[in-house]
Amino acid sequence: MTIAVTGSTGQLGRLVIEKLKVRVPAGEIIALARDPAKAADLGVAVRAADYARPETLGPALAGVDTLLLISSDAIGQRLVQHGAVIDAAKAAGVKRIAYTSILRADASPLVLADEHKATEALIKASGLTYALLRNGWYTENYTGSLAGAVAAGALIGASGEGRISAATREDYAEAAAAVIATPDAESRVYELAGDVAFTRTDLAAEVSRQTGKTIPYNDLPEAEYARILESFGLPAPLAAILAQSDTGAAEGGLFDDGRQLSSLIGRPTTPLSVAVAAALAG
Ligand SMILES: NC(=O)c1ccc[n+]([C@@H]2O[C@H](COP(=O)([O-])OP(=O)(O)OC[C@H]3O[C@@H](n4cnc5c(N)ncnc54)[C@H](OP(=O)(O)O)[C@@H]3O)[C@@H](O)[C@H]2O)c1
């Protein structure tokens, strides 16, 4: 069986390749990369595959049985890019496609879900066997900016008291590896999220506990949070989308208690305290 993984040079993709190598012989894995040189250290075969250059995709997918399509980071262009990969997979005779979607893509209040929902529809229409890996939020989305928050003396956001079932990239990568390493003739949808949900207030309390400083959570209106993200250097459209995602989280859009992720990986998802400690340790 040959398994190919797109986005193998990204933070999630690198972890997927690492986890996959534990489950299947390295000779059965192909890392697909926009820039193959960036994947040279992965210890598996590398092929060039650029979502935005469809002519690269057919050769990249030749002989591949199972494909993991890691969603592109080019928000706004993703449907076209993903569509090109799905078309190429079908043409190349790929049998099964897994895709990193978003938690409850079909019912999510997050604007970010639109491209995922549309991609899922293309995958279903392709006739390929599929595994939709509907990933919740990465814990790193929150812990990545902790140093700045501690320096500023407060956490900010617009997620109110919304409970967020985040898990680490490593947790999601292990789940993706488990799914694609296991042959399966059935199409499936997985809602993947952390075991223990937290609010931004819980996060601030954990950061306060670990730093010994009082770091409150200041909840902001969506537009104000977007303006502040923009002032940090984020492009306006991205700032708006991230702030809207927080509003969606406030409505429960990032909460899940189905525990399918821990069931797939055979262990609890990484606790918030562990992720916070890792982030604070730098
Ligand atoms: N669940 C969440 O909380 C969350 C948060 C952020 C993002 N995401 C989604 O999950 C995906 C993976 O997350 P991540 O943390 O691994 O993101 P990341 O580190 O930014 O990696 C993105 C990957 O996509 C590749 N890529 C971008 N454009 C491409 C193209 N035109 N052709 C081929 N490859 C292309 C990048 O290649 P290069 O190395 O060449 O740039 C990189 O390997 C993201 O792309 C995004 O869709 C989810």
Q: What is the average pLDDT score of the chain?
A: 98
Of 218, 216, 220, the C-alpha closest to 239 is 220
Which ligand 1 atom is nearest residue 14's CA? Answer: 16
Distance, in Å, from the CA atom of 269 to the CA atom of 170, rounded to the nearest integer, reads 9
Whether ligand 1 lies within 6 angstroms of the CB of 70 is answered as: yes
Whether ligand 1 lies within 6 angstroms of the CB of 38 is answered as: yes
Tens of pLDDT, residues 79-96: 999 999 999 999 999 999
Average pLDDT rounded to a whole number, residues 122-129: 98
This prediction has a pTM of 0.98
Interval between CA 146 and ligand 1 midpoint (Å): 22
Given a cut of 90, whether residue 282 has pLDDT beyond it is no
Given a cut of 90, whether residue 44 has pLDDT beyond it is yes
Whether ligand 1 lies within 6 angstroms of the CB of 34 is answered as: yes
The fraction of the chain above a pLDDT of 90, given in percent, is 99
Whether ligand 1 lies within 6 angstroms of the CB of 168 is answered as: no
Of 235, 227, 215, the C-alpha closest to 145 is 215
Given a cut of 90, whether residue 165 has pLDDT beyond it is yes
In which band, very low, low, confident or very high, does the pLDDT at 150 lie, cut at 50, 70 and 90?
very high
Tokens standing for 2? 């040959």
Given a cut of 90, whether residue 222 has pLDDT beyond it is yes
Q: For a substitution probing ligand 1, which of 14, 51, 73, 115 has the most ligand atoms within 8 Å of its CB?
A: 73
Average pLDDT rounded to a whole number, residues 6-29: 98
Distance, in Å, from the CA atom of 60 to the CA atom of 215, rounded to the nearest integer, reads 49
Helices (H), the chain: 11-23, 57-61, 78-92, 113-126, 140-143, 146-152, 169-181, 200-211, 222-231, 236-250, 260-265, 272-280
